[in-house]
Amino acid sequence: MLKQIKTLCLALLLTFGSTAHARELVEMVVATTPGGSQDIATRQLQKVLTDIDSSREYVVIYKPGGGGSIGYNYAIKNPVPTLAMMSGGTFSELVINKSLSEIQQEVTLIGPVWNSPGVLAVGANSGIKNLAGLVKSSKERPVTCGAASRSIKLALDDFFKGVGAKDAQVILYKGTQEGMPGLISGSLDCWLDGLNGPMDTLSKADKIKIIATSGNRAPEMFPKLPLMKSYLPANSKFYYSWWLAVGVPETHPDFKESIIPILNKAFRLLESTDTVKIQQPEQVNQKFFSNWANFVKSLNEDIKTQ
């Protein structure tokens, strides 16, 4: 009997000890398929958060689809503390139907933290050698291009309308990884995305060829890269740049208050290794998000009226 009591006490102690040291679960929601730029950046952040915060367990989950809105809606309704990875595409999808103030009532936006110039790529064996060749092809035959978010699709739709393309179709994918096989095989004529993750890797492996940038100037890695907007009218609003911010849902106010200082520390550690470039991580970068929201809405209206 005494042995049974000792066994029971030991089991209770083990159970209590396990419970006392249980870590709070935090889900980091990636709104694309695994392997893309958003996933790579999230994994970088997950590693640093795990190293500096022993009280929580950070788990990456994937909720692709809907231009990022599926992942976002999951995050803001999640009963578990959550970090929503907010890309330019996700944000663009939201602001077409919501105001910036409505979004800020649902999440505290931190960033943008990650930034990457937008680049246009073709398959290495596509026969298209440069931007002039793509524009010429688009005027002579139907072309098909891929986009991993609503903001990229808007940018490509605007570009092809601006150059007078004959019949350009832009297909929206759930993530970069999903569309890359089509670009490499030649079933897609082009792909627009940020210059990081798969785009950078496949370019270095000579699987794809980067032929232009969608920004206002060429990236440092490709200083002679032509600007897509140089083929458009002078008054064109055309622009695309990949960025990623972190949204902390208002669902768990105590978690939000405690996690933001930890995120700031994690960002600074990442910045010290040149992984990210910090832009006011302590607070919402109001000007940036406001400008982006206005840009996306005006571009969307322009395309509708053309």
Mean pLDDT value across the chain: 86
Are 23-115+241-305 and 116-231 in the same CATH fold? yes
Q: What does the domain layout of the chain look like in residue ranges?
A: 23-115+241-305, 116-231
Residue 11 pLDDT grade (very low, low, confident, very high; cuts 50, 70, 90): low
Cβ contact 144:238 at 8 Å: no
Task: Give the per-residue pLDDT at 294.
Answer: 87
- Residue 74: the pLDDT is 97
Its pTM stands at 0.79
Residue 19 confidence (pLDDT): 47
With cut-offs at 50, 70 and 90, classify the pLDDT of residue 232: very high
> Could you give the CA distance from residue 121 to residue 140 in angstroms, rounded to a whole number?
19
Residues recorded for the chain: 306
Query: What CATH number should be reported for the domain whose range is 116-231?
Result: 3.40.190.10
Mean pLDDT within 231-254: 90
Is the pLDDT at 17 greater than 60? The verdict is no
Q: Is the pLDDT of residue 3 over 70?
A: no
| 23-115+241-305: CATH superfamily | Bordetella uptake gene, domain 1 (3.40.190.150)
* pLDDT tens-digit map of 47-77: 999 999 999 999 999 999 888 899 999 999 9
Q: What is the DSSP string of the chain?
A: -HHHHHHHHHHHHHHHHHHHTPPEEEEEEESS-TTSHHHHHHHHHHHHHHHH-TTEEEEEEE---GGGHHHHHHHHH-SS-EEEEEEHHHHHHHHTTS-HHHHHHHEEEEEEEEEEEEEEEEETTSS--SHHHHHHHHHHSEEEEEESSHHHHHHHHHHHHHTT-SEEEEEE-SSHHHHHHHHHHTSSSEEEEESSTHHHHHHHTTSEEEEEESSSS--TT-TTPPBGGGGS-TT-----EEEEEEEEETT-HHHHHHHHHHHHHHHHHHHHTTS---S-TTSB-HHHHHHHHHHHHHHHHHHHH-
- The confidence band for 18, taking pLDDT boundaries of 50, 70 and 90, is very low
| Amino acid symbol at 135 | V
Which pLDDT score is estimated for 274?
A: 65
